[in-house]
């Protein structure tokens, strides 16, 4: 199936990346390791998993540290 719409997540992230590229050398964030839609979105836009923060959310769920370098 050909996807004819770009999702809002991609649009927002594209704009954020454009702004950040003008002013900085990287973007870094935390995301719940179980949040696959978000983890996949960030991977699609070139973010790499640089580490894990154990029990970061509610002392229960782990977080990936994901970073994109320009």
Using alpha carbons, list the distances in angstroms from residue 69 to 4, 22, 24: 29, 12, 9
Do residues 16 and 45 make contact, with C-beta atoms less than 8 angstroms apart?
Answer: no
CB-nearer residue toward ligand COA: 21 or 36: 36
- Least separation in angstroms between CB 12 and ligand COA: 7
* Smallest gap from residue 54 Cβ to ligand COA (A): 17
Q: Smaller CB distance to ligand COA: residue 2 or 8? A: 8
Length of the chain, in residues: 70
Residues near ligand COA (CB under 6 A) are: 7-10, 31, 35-38, 40-41, 44
């Amino acid at each position: 199936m050909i996807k004819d719409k770009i999702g809002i997540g991609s649009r927002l992230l594209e704009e954020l990346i454009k702004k950040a590229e003008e002013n900085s050398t990287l973007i870094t964030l935390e995301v719940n390791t179980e949040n696959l839609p978000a983890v996949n979105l960030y991977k699609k836009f070139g973010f790499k998993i640089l580490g894990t923060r154990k029990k970061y959310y509610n002392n229960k769920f782990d977080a990936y540290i994901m970073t994109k370098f320009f």
